[in-house]
Chains A and B, each alone.
Chain A
């Protein structure tokens, strides 16, 4: 089974570490990935507030490109790591399937550009693939530096599991917990798994956004965790890059590492820290048990 990789805008800029670590982990597990050629914006969140039809058309163009690139090879798996893109594409795919008149309009628009798509595409999140397409044993086998003693809070963020995903429970997702336990990490009990981090509000209505991120950080700290594992570039950005601002405002220290779950997986697999983008983190990640201290801070050239 091969996978088509849809990066989305974030994974090429603020979320670069996510892309690097995900590609490294997929390669390590011998899952072949191919980037979708000439992909465009998924049309999520901010875009949908202006025109939903155009947002759906943007998603549909990606579907058409994917089918073209896969060359009609049975079922196509599109890997979408960004939570907002995952939700946007998944929503569009379902809506177009369920509402015939909507699909007609969008197909008409695609036709004007010489594109079309049928429906043998599956929009998948890397969490879904790593937990369901390969056996737990294979992940266990790949672990060479278990994350023993590392206390992790698994933070799914709001948009991965609800409301259109079907790979995990919408209220109490467990897939990342299971995955990280396989790596030897200690997963703390953490009820804020899917609570909103503030999304883009942190950049727009700062007072409101920062408070939401603060609630998450405070609770993580209270439960004594060393690192928050995320699966969304915006969640990671909010929780990590605004940590010092939040600290200044609420008097909460800024010392909790926030890493992508793929970075933690890669670290457990013994992949070099530079290949996982660990040097891009603002708050350095301390991997206990291995004696390693992964530091941030050095200049990274593009």
Chain B
């Protein structure tokens, strides 16, 4: 017999991570997170909330309560299309889109994001290409994405690709900047620094300041 879907997942206090909200709030302006009144405007405005496993309002509440594992492994943040309608409408001026980004980055760093879901793969491929060439090449990005998620889909999209190419709208040549060395030097300085601090980094920071 199929399991009744009515039961919610239960969490005990001991399973929660009280430092999680501080990690997310470590981004510039992230402190606003604590002024959330749970009005639900963000979820109402979000065009993607019907597709999410937790609505944006729930995500904010879960971050504050310390549901670290559930937030970081959820699909919600990866479905956010960053249209910023939540941020614009929030009566408490919480930068919800930025909080979604913070959760994405932490999930990537802690390697707990949904596996083989196309959006984190796209983000990583895009990042890789820009890191190397300073620019992204749309055609190559898509090929890499399909190879790593669903190669079958590439065949499905061949028609569209061909049509774009015929119209001169799809370049196959790799795009790159001339002075990639400059970028490498810039990135090298930033390699060890992050805007979202992990628990260890927060603890270390506190030690230094006290």
Q: Evaluate contact between A46 and B84: CB separation under 8 angstroms.
A: no
- Contact assessment for B168 and A14 in the assembled complex, using a CB-CB cutoff below 8 Å: no
Known: A41-B130, A162-B85, A241-B164. A115 touches B105 (CB 8 A): no
CB closest chain-B residue, reference A95: B28
Q: Does B126 contact A (CB under 8 A)?
A: yes
Segment among A5-13, A130-138, A175-183, A286-294 that sits at the interface with chain B: A5-13
> Which chain B residue lies CB-closest to A301?
B168
A-B contact count (CB 8 A): 184
> How many Å lie between the Cα of A58 and that of B182 in the bound state?
11
Interface size on A, residues (CB 8 A): 69
- A112 touching B101, Cβ below 8 Å: no
Chain A 26-57 near chain B by CB (<8 Å), digits 1 or 0: 00000000000011110101111111111001
B168: A residues at CB distance < 8 A: 16, 280, 300-302
B87 touches A49 (CB 8 A): no
Q: Closest CB-CB distance, A41 to chain B, in whole Å? A: 5
Q: B189 near A109 (CB under 8 angstroms)?
A: yes
Bound-complex Cα distance A194 to B120 (A): 25
Choose, from A97-105, A143-151, A260-268, the stretch at the interface: A97-105
Does A204 count as interface, using CB distance less than 8 angstroms? yes
Q: Are B169 and A201 in contact (CB under 8 A)?
A: no
In contact, A61 and B85 (Cβ under 8 angstroms): no
In the assembled complex, B111 has its CB within 8 A of some CB on chain A: no
Asked if B188 is at the interface (CB within 8 A of a chain A CB), the reply is yes
Residues on A with C-beta less than 8 A from B127 are 46-47, 49-51
Interface size, chain B (Cβ < 8 Å): 64
Q: Does A222 contact B (CB under 8 A)?
A: no
Q: Is the CB of B88 within 8 A of A204?
A: no
A296-B126 contact, Cβ under 8 Å, with A38-B179, A113-B182: no
Please give, as numbers and ranges, the residues of chain A lying within 8 Å of B124 by CB-CB distance. Answer: 50
Contact for B101 among A41, A49, A242, CB less than 8 A: A49
CB-CB contacts of B26-66 with A at 8 A, as 1s and 0s? 01100000000000000000011001000000000000000
Interface centre among B87, B118, B127, B186 (most CB of A within 10 A): B186
The digit string for A13-25, where 1 denotes a CB below 8 A from any CB of B, is 1111100000000
Residues of chain B with a CB closer than 8 A to A15's CB: 169
Whether A201 pairs with B79 at a CB distance below 8 angstroms is yes
Please tell me which one of the listed residues A57, A162, A300 contacts residue B84 in the complex, with CB atoms under 8 A apart: A162
Asked if B138 and A282 sit within 8 Å, CB to CB, the answer is: no
Q: A37: shortest Cβ distance to chain B, in Å? A: 9
B48 CB to nearest chain A CB (Å):
7
Are A50 and B105 in contact, CB atoms less than 8 angstroms apart?
A: yes
B81 near A198: Cβ-Cβ < 8 Å: yes
Whether A196 pairs with B85 at a CB distance below 8 angstroms is: yes
Give bound CA distance, A113 to B130, whole Å: 17
Q: Which of B121, B126, B138 contacts A14 (CB 8 A)?
A: B138
Q: CA separation between A14 and B164, bound complex, in Å?
A: 8
Please give, as numbers and ranges, the residues of chain A lying within 8 Å of B121 by CB-CB distance.
Answer: 204
User: Can you list 6 A-B pairs with a CB-CB distance of less than 8 A?
Assistant: A15-B169, A41-B136, A49-B101, A51-B194, A52-B105, A115-B182
* 3 nearest A-B residue pairs (beta carbon): A158-B83, A300-B168, A204-B118
- Told that A52-B27, A98-B28 touch, could you supply 16 new A-B pairs with CB distance under 8 A? A13-B138, A39-B177, A47-B126, A50-B127, A51-B190, A51-B194, A53-B194, A57-B187, A58-B130, A113-B182, A114-B182, A162-B85, A163-B87, A201-B79, A203-B122, A204-B121
